Amino acid sequence: MAARRGDVTVTALSRVPGEPAPRPGVVHLGVGAFHRAHQAVYTDRAMAATGDPRWGIVEVAPRSADVVAALRRQDGLYTVLERSGGRVTANVVGSVAEAWHAPSDWAAVAARFADPAVTVVTLTITEKGYLADPVTGALLDDDAVRADVAAVAAGERPRTGLGLLVGGLRRRMAAGAGAVTVLSCDNLVGNGARLGALVGEFAARLPGALGPELTAWLAASARFPSAMVDRIVPASTPADRADALRLTGAADDAVVAAEPFTQWVIEDDFAGERPAWELAGAELVADVGPHETAKLRVLNAAHSMIAYLGALAGHETIAAAVADPPIRAAVAALHRDVLATIEAPPGWDLPSYAASVLERFANPALGHRCDQVAADGSQKLPVRVLPTILAARAAGRPSAAATLVVAAWLRFVLAGRSDDGRPLTVNDPARDALRGVLPSDVARVLRAAAVAPEELAADAAWVADVARYLDELARHGAAATAGELS
């Protein structure tokens, strides 16, 4: 279902306004822009390809009600704008069956978890939403986790994304609703296995017989496949909403904009039926690991490097930062180190993949902000950047480029200003832990932020390299320091 409007193609994938919503078959936690431009689009295309309406998505927002309200006003329909240069394609997505705000609609959310027609739960709750210790990977033992364990045990509403998941799974077990696949779509190494382990740790903390009962049910009835996801989805802007209105003729408060490229690699380990995502372009494989490693270290690590160096150098967008020759050269140096330490996934040409990453980042139509990509670095760097440092050290060739990323992140968080003195938007869970720590005590800073494993934090030579780059960034600026790598 497509219509041409000048230089714009407007497409409705599975349904158009006025047609009934699909039947609920998938529950999704985390109704952010990335999910709406990625998994929801794949599900829409799968239903369009098969004519099977059983895979409507039940959107669950753990916190904010804004997107839920917008989706309800719009009968679950919204627009994905694909931007590349001056070309725009508007896709009207119709895979949303329902939208719920967990804090105010927990009974409805729990009922959907307990619905036998729902056989898949997907998540985009960001790295920090998994409540894992950044160093050990174990479930945290803090007030939020303890409160959610108590809530799940009492049958009440949990507050965190992980708690909502476990609470929903408990309801499913109690209802005898059958097996379920829980599919993480967040950028975590081994995200399926890690999520399964965290859910298991959470269940083990439940009191009395409930813990063993849920643990046994999970082992028998739940699968946690891993997945690798990729698409650049900037934060939505007023300009996106204006374009959606202009192109589709309808006001859209849930619009998202994205690049044309999209990728989804899924471990083929499901507990029951699922959408035919492979008909929408997803790749089902036996082992996601090689794809995930390549994406995290080639694409995500470069994204972080560009974000920190670019923000410090005064660039607002990723595209502007990539166009800065010293920063682009620094990314090339990082890619050389990464490609020397990883194996190519089956069928991949890693040098070509690295080159395509830079081409995608250079797309000026996205307007992807450096400070948006820079958020939550203390959660991202351990899986994106630190593995390259460790692998390079093990091979006897330390990575100066990856070490510079750590220093640039520290400079970004600790200084909070660009090289020309402008304030930066700093959102990082480690920021509070760093208050009162002297920036000159780099080893203590790294330990306080829990961003580096102890073997690195205790390595005087590596800590000295971080300190040297931190000093050079302060004295000479991001562009000049990045230029040294070339």
**Domain CATH code at residue 392:** 1.10.1040.10
Indicate whether 381 and 473 sit together in one domain: yes
Are β-strands 8-12 and 2-5 bridged in parallel, bridged antiparallel, or unpaired? antiparallel
> Which residue's entry shows tokens 């230029």?
483
pLDDT-derived band at 5 (thresholds 50, 70, 90) equals: very low
pLDDT for 12: 62
Q: How far apart are CA 377 and CA 336, in angstroms?
A: 22
Quick one: pLDDT at residue 74?
96
What is the rounded CA–CA span in Å between residue 477 and residue 418?
9
Residue 9: pLDDT over 90:
no
Q: Are residues 48 and 29 in the same domain?
A: yes
Neighbours of 14 (CB within 10 A): 25
187 versus 411: the higher-pLDDT residue is 411
Looking at the fold, whether 219 and 156 belong to one and the same domain comes out as yes
Q: Which of 220, 255, 285 is the last residue of a domain?
A: 285
pLDDT reported for residue 13: 64
Instruction: Report yes or no: 119 and 112 within 8 Å, Cβ to Cβ.
Output: no
Q: Say if residue 362 is in the same domain as residue 456.
A: yes
Residue 245 and residue 144 share a domain: yes
Examine the pLDDT at 47 and tell me if it is beyond 70: yes
Same domain, 332 and 261: no
Please indicate, yes or no, whether residues 213 and 299 belong to a single structural domain of this protein. no
pTM value is 0.88
Amino acid at 133: D
Determine the pLDDT at residue 317.
Answer: 96
Residue 94 in contact with residue 44, Cβ under 8 Å? yes
Work out the average pLDDT over 441-447. Answer: 91
Same domain? For 231 and 312 the reply is no
Is pLDDT above 60 for 109? Answer: yes
* Number of domains composing the chain: 2
> Are 377 and 399 in the same domain?
yes
**For the chain, how far is it from start to end, CA to CA, in angstroms?**
50
Average pLDDT (420-440) is 90
Residue 436 banded pLDDT, cuts 50, 70, 90: confident
pLDDT in tens, 229-261: 999 999 899 999 999 999 999 999 999 999 999
Per-residue pLDDT for 314 more than 90? yes
Share of the chain above pLDDT 90, in %: 88
Is the pLDDT at 394 greater than 80? The verdict is: yes
Q: Using pLDDT thresholds of 50, 70 and 90, give the confidence band for residue 404.
A: very high
Please give the Cα distance from 260 to 233 (Å, whole number): 10
Residues 275 and 300 occupy one common structural domain: no
Considering the domain architecture, whether residues 231 and 293 belong to the same structural domain is answered as: no
Would the pLDDT of 273 be above 80?
yes
pLDDT at 4 over 60: no
Specify the pLDDT at position 311: 98
Percent of the chain with pLDDT over 70: 97
User: How high is the pLDDT of residue 3?
Assistant: 41
**Which of 260, 285, 310 is where one domain is finished?**
285
Among 244, 261, 285, the domain-final residue is 285
Strand partners, 5: 8
Question: Is the separation of the CB atoms in 415 and 314 below 8 Å?
Answer: no
**Which residue, among 114, 100, 113, 106, has the nearest Cα to 61 in the 3D structure?**
100
Is 393 in the same domain as 255? no
Residue 267's domain comprises: 2-285
pLDDT at residue number 6: 40
